[in-house]
Amino acid sequence: MRTPADPTPETPFSPEGPNLVLQGENLELISALPEGTFQVIYLDPPFNTGRAQQSVKFTSTRRDDGLGERLGFAGRSYDTVRQLLSHYDDDFTDYWEFLQPRLAEAWRLLTPTGTLYLHLDYREVHYAKVMCDAVFGRENFLNEIIWSYDYGARTKKRWPTKHQNILVYVKHPSRYYFNSEAVDREPYMAPSLVTPEKAARGKLPTDVWWHTIVSPTGKEKTGYPTQKPVGLVRRMIQASSQEGDWVLDFFAGSGTLGAAAAETGRRFVCIDSSAHAMEVMAQRLGTHAEVRYASA
């Protein structure tokens, strides 16, 4: 079993250090964080549902020695992939330009045993999978988790969409930490088919997670529009980290990662640029974290 690394001058985040809630542009802030610090990074970025476009100049970059295209992390040539996809979807380039450098920073910030959980929906998950393959390497793809829920309106024009996708990548394919025994178990759907002991204990989750959304009238509700349930994120950090480990969310929103980390004894950094998000997190996590605003 891996134990949290001892703090060093190069890695100032120790199990005794303060949890942090930081306001600012996330790419700028995470670029200043020390390499190899975080055991789990959970990201719930904008889903790009509006497909807002900007004017982006697209160029091809090739190696000076003429032997091929520029290689990215883990030796992956992501420029070719980007050009091929952009050929079929003009809107794709903007999303790549936004998300790819942040994924590259996530790779840098993970510990050698660390795990990324990237939370998206069906509109962008296929693009993000290609990006993650380029940045992390396809051999470091661990799972695609389907979060399934049954709440809200149901269209009659197509199959109603009642799920979201979570891509799981590790820093190293043979060194990553995973402890399935640490996660919250689920009830059996047919408890009469198993022994009473198994029914009482529950079953290990699969890669399909049946979990309700945040109740509009429940105590967990913060009023933040894209808030995710604590139970989802708690399961991720229970499986992929240990008490005292550092975890990070730089699209923090309502601070669900921080709430899950505080419950389970992990140390956390939450980052968001939104004043509304900072207000929500200060109220929700203020007793567990040091809150630093952009003007501080």
How does pLDDT run across 147-171, given as a tens digit for each residue?
998 777 788 888 888 899 999 999 9
For residue 105, being part of any structural domain is answered with yes
67 in a domain, yes or no?
no
Residue 11 predicted with pLDDT over 80: no
pLDDT for position 211: 82
State yes or no: pLDDT of 3 exceeds 60. Answer: no
- pTM comes to 0.83
Confidence (pLDDT) at 158: 87
Residue 85 sits in a domain whose CATH number is 3.40.50.150
Give the Å distances, CA to CA, from 149 to 76, 161, 208, 289: 35, 9, 10, 31
Binning pLDDT at 50, 70 and 90, where does residue 82 land?
A: low
Q: How far apart are the first and last CA of the chain?
A: 40
Residue pair 214/227 in contact by the 8 Å Cβ criterion: yes
The answer to the question of residue 6 being in a domain is no
Q: Is 18 helix (H, G, I), strand (E, B) or coil?
A: coil
Quick check: is 11 in a domain? no
- 248 falls within a domain: yes
Domain range for 217 is 20-51+77-292
Does a structural domain hold residue 64? no
Domain total of the chain: 1
Residue 86 lies inside a defined structural domain of this protein: yes
Task: With beta carbons less than 8 A apart as the criterion, state whether 7 and 247 touch.
Answer: no
255: helix, coil or strand?
coil
Flag whether 63 is in a domain. no
pLDDT at residue 87 above 60? no
pLDDT at 153: 75
